[in-house]
Structure 1
Amino acid sequence: MLIRLRVSLPDRPGALGQVARVLGTLGVDIHQVTVLDRETGRAVDDFTVSWPGSPEVEEVRDRLSAVPGVTVEGAWPTREAPGFAPDYDLLKHVMTDPGRAFPTLVDAAPHLVGADWAATIAFPPEAPGAKAVHRSWNAPEIVETAEPIPPRPAVYGGAVPLMSVPLVDTGLCLIVVRTVGLAFHRAELDKMARLAEIVAMMARTADVRVRAGDVFR
């Protein structure tokens, strides 16, 4: 079973190796490690691992408690494919067909940050329940936003973790949702915001060139 583990550990030499050794003794295959944060003597890392069977979150926490100073912040199933570069793939596809920049963005966004679905809605939304303009294959037609969406990238916790990324000068806002797991980390938000900004710039450039008669071949 492919699982994503978010682990807080001491930011010192050898701590990451200790976690890896414990996971190894449990028969866990580590596919990828992503450093999300390093401050005040601690680090927050996301591990994408193949775990034997179907473990419960409490079991994962108990097994890793053998490492001093380690805290498992969360564990949830993931469909991410370690070893690939979905961010590069996104930009390549947008460059190839900039007219479909935003549908391509919402299709790619869940794979970029370990989410379950994504959509764009009109920004600012007229109501808490906004109709999706573009949506990934499993996104709802009506996107519910429990809180007002600010004019800057933001994350929301609660029962359904969500991030919002307004797409500047497009009248759209990207919504990304993780139905199972922890709230999005600020590093995940920063990554999504930067990629969305590039995609929006590419779409605007393509639109200007098309209107000027320089159609992409």
Structure 2
Amino acid sequence: MLLRIRVRLPDRPGSLGKVARLLGAAGADVVQMAVLERDNGRALDDFTVVWPAGADTGRLRDGLASVPGVETVGIWTTAEPHGAFPDAALIGQLAADPGRGAVTLADAVPALLSADWAGLARTGPERAALVHASVGGLADAELADLEPVRPRAFTAGDGTEYAICPVQDLVLVVARRDAPPFHRSEVFRLAQLVGAAEAVLGVRALGGSSGSGGPPPGGDLVRSS
């Protein structure tokens, strides 16, 4: 299985190598690394690793704790996006089938952002309601208050971490549990994906509602005339 490991470490030569060697010694095969931020002599990095299914991650935490200056922010399961350049591949999928644009976007985002599920929601006077949910989500799930509707991340009262971004008159909602809050770079990536989708498709969002696994009646993000 794949794990995402988020760590803070000293931003100096050799620190990254120590963490990578430690992960390898613990049995984790590093397949990707991303620097999320660098500030005041510290860095925040995400590692994606292959880890034996069912194996205890305690030794990863213990090993990382043994490296001076390294703090484990979170370890959680993730999925592998499709393609060598998944963001570009997603835009290609949207262009190939514009009638399912929003649904395709929502279904692909969890793997891109190491989330549990994503959905399309419509805000209302009382609460937001999902009109589509990806695998792992529930169309009748109780959503946290999505206001204000703008690209942002927040933690709900039940501990669920959310990232949201408006998609015309809908809201793209991404959620994960037992994981760190969405970093501002992840929110930026989400907003860039939405912006690219709209630019490629020349889109507008249509209304409607549906259960998990299907598009809202009448379509969702479709090519405008």
* TM-score normalized by the length of structure 1: 0.85
1:82 CA drift (Å)? 8.5
Q: How does 1:21-170 map to 2 (within 5 A)?
A: 21-52=21-52, 54-56=55-57, 58-81=58-81, 84-122=84-122, 124-130=123-129, 132-158=130-156, 159-167=159-167, 170=168
Q: 1:78 to 1:151 in 2, by over 3 A?
A: closer
SS at match of 1:142: coil
CA distance in structure 2 between the partners assigned to 1:186 and 1:171 by the alignment: 23
Does the CA contact (< 8 Å) of 1:5 and 1:75 recur in 2? yes
1:138 CA drift (Å)? 2.7
Which has the larger displacement, 136-145 or 192-201? Answer: 136-145
Aligned residues: 204
CA distance in structure 2 between the partners assigned to 1:197 and 1:126 by the alignment: 26
CA distance in structure 2 between the partners assigned to 1:194 and 1:180 by the alignment: 25
CA distance in structure 2 between the partners assigned to 1:69 and 1:189 by the alignment: 27
Corresponding position of 1:214: none
Does the CA contact (< 8 Å) of 1:99 and 1:203 recur in 2? no
Corresponding position of 2:2: 2
Q: 1:197 to 1:81 in 2, by over 3 A?
A: closer
Q: Give the unaligned 5+ runs of structure 1.
A: 212-217
Does the CA contact (< 8 Å) of 1:33 and 1:48 recur in 2? yes
1:151 CA drift (Å)? 3.0
The letter for the 1-side match of 2:196 is: I
CA distance in structure 2 between the partners assigned to 1:97 and 1:83 by the alignment: 18
CA distance in structure 2 between the partners assigned to 1:199 and 1:119 by the alignment: 16
CA distance in structure 2 between the partners assigned to 1:143 and 1:149 by the alignment: 17
